[in-house]
Structure formats: structure tokens, C-alpha cells
Chains A and B, each alone.
Chain A
Amino acid sequence: MNVRIETIGQTTLVIPEGRLDFGSAGMFEKQLEQASPRKATAPAAVIIDCAGLEYVSSAGLRTFLLAARSAQRTGYQFAICGLQPPVRDVFELSGFSRIITIYADRAAALTHAPTGQP
């Protein structure tokens, strides 16, 4: 799995590509942690754009849960977007689609995030 990080204003965009499985979840968890705000003094957001994510298992779901909790604790927005059908299925079956904010695509997610753009 490859991960790219982009910053738009106060919003961090995390873009994983490939498979988020038992083998890659540990690395992804670390990358997410490093990319996330330590403290939220101003409105901030982390968005994970999953458009390039082909596969997620329970090991991968765990990293999303950790990231969402960390956002809630620290006080920044957290959302994911662009879920492909196999990944969407896993989010729905696990009930994660009820506890994590999901947008259809990156553009929709960014309209709700502090990007410094109107």
C-alpha cells in the first residue's frame, strides 16, 4: 500500500492506495498518527480519501476507529470519502458507516473542512 499526504489550509488529506490488510495496517496507523494534529487550537480536519483503496479487512478497520477516536479526543474533524464498493461493504456491515462521517468524494468532503478557501 502507498500513502500520500497533502495539506490544504488546516485540512490534512491522507490518500492510501492499494490494500489495507493485516500486513499494511500497522504502517498506515503510524502514518496517520504522524499526519494528524497533536492539538487543535484552530478548526482542523483530517480526511482520508479512499478512492484508491481496493481492500480493507478488520485490521484496516481498526486503524479508522483509532483515527476517529483520536480526532474526537483532540478536537478536530475526521471524515473519509471515495469508498469503492468492496470497501463500502465492509464499512456498512461493520456498522462503521454509522460512527464515521463518510462523503461520496473528495470534493464533497472538502466543502465541510477548513481549507482556507471559500
Chain B
Amino acid sequence: MRGDAAQLPVLTHFLRDFWSSADLAPAECTSFELALEEVFTNIVKHGTRPGSVSQVEVSLALAADGLTMTVEDDGPQFDPLSLPTPDVTATLEERPLGGLGVFLVRQMMDAVKYQRIGTRNRLSITKHVTR
């Protein structure tokens, strides 16, 4: 689908539909919804060349080690894991306004892996889920 912020609700619905058809514990869906939002909005912000919109593909796969969400896009090379880790002990005045999204994803998930494959970015996010 197009890397357009307006598409986020469509992706969230896709995730929730998968969640209920796989009969997963509802409370655990939130961390994947958050990961999907943070990763997708990052692609919208960083992964678009002037005059063109990236194509984004999201897939979900359930295995013994948990649920893996893979997000691929055809935008410029961008490794979200290279972003600096925010200082969560900084004061109110010192805290920057951004930079928390990827940090939250890394904190909430068991594993996050980035690969550049040809002209595509691929981010795989895995977390154990209760069935």
C-alpha cells in the first residue's frame, strides 16, 4: 500500500483482523499496534523521495518463537535502529520532542531486525504472544 499516513487505520484493521482470527490474547495486540504505527509513520517521514510515495508491505507470521511482523518499503535506505537512543532520564526541558517511537518498539518487542535487500528496507519485529 502507499506510504501515506492516512493508510494507518487500514493497517491497524489488518492487524486486528489477524489477531482475532489467530485467536491471540487481545491485550497483547496493543504493542504490535504501536510498533506498526511507529514503523509506518517513520517510513512516511523518512522513506519518501521527493515527488514519489513509497510502497509499503506489511506481513504477519505466527511461529513457535512468537509473532513476526515484517514491514518492507521501497524508499531510500533507512535503518531505524541506527537512530540514537533517547535519554529517558532527561528533565522536562531537556527532553526532545521526537525520537521515542523506535525506542518504544525496541523496548516492547523481543527482537527487531533491519535488513536492506536490494532496493528495499525490511524491518522484522518479533514478540512472544499468548495463544
Binding site for B on A (CB under 8 A): 21-23, 55, 57-59, 61-62, 65-66, 68-69, 72, 85-86, 89-90, 93-95, 98-100
Chain B residue, CB-CB nearest to A62: B97
Are B38 and A58 within 8 A (Cβ)?
yes
Chain B residue, CB-CB nearest to A56: B34
Kindly state the separation between the CA atoms of A86 and B8 in the bound complex, as whole angstroms: 19
**Cβ–Cβ < 8 Å partners of A61 in chain B:** 100
Closest 10 CB pairs of A and B: A95-B88, A58-B101, A58-B100, A86-B30, A99-B92, A93-B107, A57-B37, A22-B41, A94-B100, A57-B34
Task: Give the most central of B33, B91, B95: most A CB within 10 Å.
Answer: B95
What total of A-B pairs shows CB separation below 8 Å? 67
**Cβ–Cβ < 8 Å partners of B91 in chain A:** 99
A contact face: mostly helix, strand, loop, or mixed? helix
**Cβ–Cβ < 8 Å partners of B95 in chain A:** 65, 95, 99
Kindly state the separation between the CA atoms of A72 and B95 in the bound complex, as whole angstroms: 14
Interface bits B29-46 vs A (CB < 8 Å: 1, else 0): 011011001100100000
In angstroms, how far is the closest chain A Cβ from the Cβ of B83? 12
